[in-house]
Amino acid sequence: MILPTKIIRKLRRFSVITTDSLLEKRLLPGSDNYQKFIILCTARTGSNFLCSLLQSHSKIRAFAEVFHKDSKRKKIFWDYPGYNSEEFWEMRENHPIQFMDNIVFRDFPKSVSAVGFKLFYNHAQAENEKCIWERLKQIKDLKIIHLKRQNLLQQYVSLTKARQSKQWVVKANNSNSKGDSLRLEIDYDNCIEHFETLQNLQREYDNLFAEHQILEVIYENLAKDYINETKKIQEFLGVPYQKLYPYTYKQTQESLSQIIINYSELKEKFQETPWIDYFEG
C-alpha cells in the first residue's frame, strides 16, 4: 500500500519529535557527530520550499531562520516544537555563538546525520551578532547550500508581493494566496539597484566561504524537478537517500507580464542590459 504524501510527512515528523523528546529525557544517547550545514540565501529564493523538503527527511534537522529578528514577539523561527523559550531568546541576543554552538548544533539522537539552518545575507548583522559569520567560517567541515534564484526579476516581484500582502508562506494544503490578485508597477532604477545589490551579495558570501564545500542550488531547477535536485543535496550532505516531500508550494502561478502593470515599458528599458533575459520572450 502506498501512503499519501501528507501521511508520510506526518509519520516522519512524529518520529523526529519522539526521538528528540526521548533524548531530552535522557532515554536515548545523544551525539554531535553529524554534518553541519547552512542554507545560505535571501528572501523569495525558495528557502521555505527547500527547508520543508529537508524537514521531511527523518535523519535531517533543518531549522528555519534562527537569526531572524522578531523583537516584538521575541520569537525564534525554528519550525520545530519545544524551542521557543525565553532562555533561548536571551542567549541568542546576548551570547549568539553560545546559542548556535550549544542550542542549534547541540547533541541530537545518534540517528541524525545532518543538522542545519537557513541564514539570509541580512541575518546576524547587528554588532553583537556579526561574530556568527566568523564562527561559521571557522567550522571547517561546515557545508554550504547556496540557494539562488536565476531570474532576479521574478525574485524581486515575489519579494514585493510578499511585503504588500504580508504572506510569506503558502502551505501545501492551502491553495489560496493573498498576493494572487496584486498588480505591481515596477520602478526601473529600483530594479537595477536590487539586481546589483543581490549579485554583489552572492559574490561576497561565495568568497566568504570559499574554503568550504559549497553546493549551488538554483531555485528554478528545484521547483521543476525537486526529486533529482534533492538527491544531489542528500548526497552532498552525506545522508542516506529518502524521497522528500514539500510542505509549501509556489505562491504565484501568473506570468510576469500579468503581474507587472508597466511590463512592456520596463522590458524596453532593459533591452541593452545584462538582465534582459529575465523577461519573457
pLDDT tens-digit map of 188-225: 999 999 999 999 999 999 999 999 999 999 999 999 99
End-to-end CA distance of the chain: give it in Å, rounded.
Answer: 45
Give the domain ranges of the chain: 5-167+178-278
Kindly report, residue by residue over 103-114, the tens digit of the pLDDT. 999 999 999 999
Residue 74 — very low, low, confident or very high, per pLDDT cuts 50/70/90?
A: low
* pLDDT for res 14: 79
What confidence score (pLDDT) does residue 71 get?
55
> Do 81 and 17 meet the contact criterion of CB atoms below 8 Å apart?
yes
pLDDT tens readout for residues 108-141: 999 999 999 999 999 999 999 999 999 999 999 9
CA distances 104 to 83, 155, 217, Å, are 10, 29, 23
Q: What is the mean pLDDT of residues 242-256?
A: 79
5-167+178-278 CATH: 3.40.50
- In the β-sheet with 60-63, what is the strand arrangement from edge to edge? 60-63, 114-120, 35-41, 143-148, 213-218
**How much is the pLDDT for 170?**
54
Q: What is the pLDDT of residue 77?
A: 83
Write down the pLDDT at residue 136: 98
Across the chain, mean pLDDT equals 89
Distance CA 68, CA 74 (A): 10
